[in-house]
Structure 1
Amino acid sequence: MNAGNPPGLDLERLRAHLDRERAGLVRGPLSAELIEGGRSNLTYTVTDGASRWVVRRPPLGHVLATAHDMAREHRVISALHPTAVPVPEPVLLCEDESVIGSPFYVMEFVEGTPYRTAEQLTGIGPERTREVVLSLVDTLVTLHSVDPAEVGLGDFGRPEGFLERQLRRWGKQLAASRNRELPGIEELHTRLGKALPASPTPTVVHGDYRLDNVLVNADDRITAILDWEMSTLGDPLTDLGLIVMYSGHPNLADSPISSTQGAPGHPATDELIQRYAEGSGRDVSGVSWYTAFAYFKLAVILEGIHYRFTLGQTVGAGFDRIGDIVPAFIEHGLTTLEES
């Protein structure tokens, strides 16, 4: 743990705020550490030597507040915590930017491992790998079984026209963050728009559901779903498409993008789809469209990262390779769409 202040978190001001709002919660001097690996909001572990918490805040120098809405993240985990969906217990939301320089929220620290790679899964063996990946699907079924209105999330999004809006949003995102030709990207976007499926009854959707956004304990049980910044009310099959894409996309050489494909014991994507269909009772015959859309969305996200890299606005290892792998995601999106 860092005894000083990590970037973006003033521990003295945080302690004073916690003492005001949750008197007696903190029992000693705070120390903190920035958790590496997130692509967006900043996440810290904070401890007083006896207890641990997690603090989430927007990235430093962020511009679009709507893309890093702390109140929205706090609201969804607060609503889901009393249900069977595993989420950390929320502790406090602070929207006063004068405290640490941005809105933030505090939640409990949950023990568990985020499995990011096939190599990590290989280390736990094929039987445990199978259990963990199937649990990811079962937990998604649990999330999608929650009635949004019953937990106070009836107005958490606008399900009507959800897929059309999503496609338009990511198309605009692409236009705003590219400075090169990307063969096939317009074709993929157009073909997705022409083949929009009819959505099932809307649910709470996570928006970035994958194995390294959940924590798994030593008993191979999922203890928490993390990173709710893209959550809303919408088409639940978009989350299933993400699982299929992340579980099935190829391990590209030197790629910094997580892929669990290839780990011994990892269920095939067809089994994951069938598991979700049986658990949820939903028609999954159009899952190829949702998987192709997941490829498109990730291609746009990666191109945005590459664009910022070319402008010198990214820091860290691996960003120089992002641009080279975007075409592969476009190609897989087109190939997958042909299967639908």
Structure 2
Amino acid sequence: MRNTRRTGRTVAVGLCAAALAALTAAPAQAHGGQRPAPHWQLKDSGTDVRFRGLTAVSRDTAWLAGSKGTVLRTTDGGAHWRNVSPPGATDLEFRDIEAFDARHAVVLAIGEGEASRVFRTDDGGATWTESFRNTDAKAFYDCLTFFDRRHGLALSDPVDGRFRILSTSDGGRSWTVLPSAGMPAAQDGEAGFAASGQCLVASGPNDVWLATGGGARARVLHSADRGLTWTATDTPIPAGDPARGVFAVAFRDRTHGIAVGGDYRADQPSPQAAAVSRDGGRTWTPADRPPPAYRSGVTWLPHSRTAALAVGPTGTDLTTDGGRTWKTVDSGSYDTVDCAPDLGCWASGEKGRVARLEP
């Protein structure tokens, strides 16, 4: 088994290296024509809802969560999508989904009061169980993340001056509000952005990061004990307005992170839309050449120490130096992006848009 796992990882690393080389190199001549670089290939989702929730399980399997209570799943690389939405959910706004494989997934609906709910499926969406319904009118849940198949957290905007964290230790079957004593005070107007399912992300068994905006400073909060205690750090991404801040973070390990965001209003510039951390989020450095506009989603490419993709309404950007510089590689509109270990990278967004990165 050990040799088999090593061979699989070697193949994936090789695929990632080849994809990176093609993304960053000039088009090569092949048989008198140009060999196309890796690119997003649109898949027909069969709907026009907006998908801000996405999990890439593999090149074959992905889950989408979006408006009108919609959940879709593919197991054949996007050739066909099955509507596996929870019954009676058409009035809900799904903004995040965390899937463990083709059968097991947890989806979050956002909104004030009882509009914030969590559902879980163990049979590929054939049936769903509502495992949490918010009863606090002051709470508004934004994002989900899991450390492993059992342990996960959900994030609510501040309640009584502090961000609220919901915890599960049984794979999303039950949830408990964590004590707020270890959470720093929130700034006036500070909140999480339910824009891509990436305002709360985990890496490893204990570390988790929370991205904020809307306050005077755009911050990233870090916990090394699964959400019990937190430290807050300012980022150089512009804030000071309800539409500005950090919209998404991604950590490839407990040390190396990327934050993206800006101002989501189409008529407003986002001059510093990305930042980098090399110390687990304790400090953040602005990108030397950031994406040219607001970005709402970001993910590291599998098995790469330096490559990541960021997406937003005006395009996709690639970094090959750990987030210091970014290059626009696609102009299509996407809200979120995710990659699986086998280099199955997916993106989704408005008007039913979903795409897979093709070599």
Normalising by the smaller structure, the TM-score range is: under 0.3
The structure where helix makes up a greater share of residues is 1
The structure where strand makes up a greater share of residues is 2
Question: Structure 2 length as normaliser, TM-score?
Answer: 0.27
Larger Rg: 1
Question: Structure 1 length as normaliser, TM-score?
Answer: 0.28
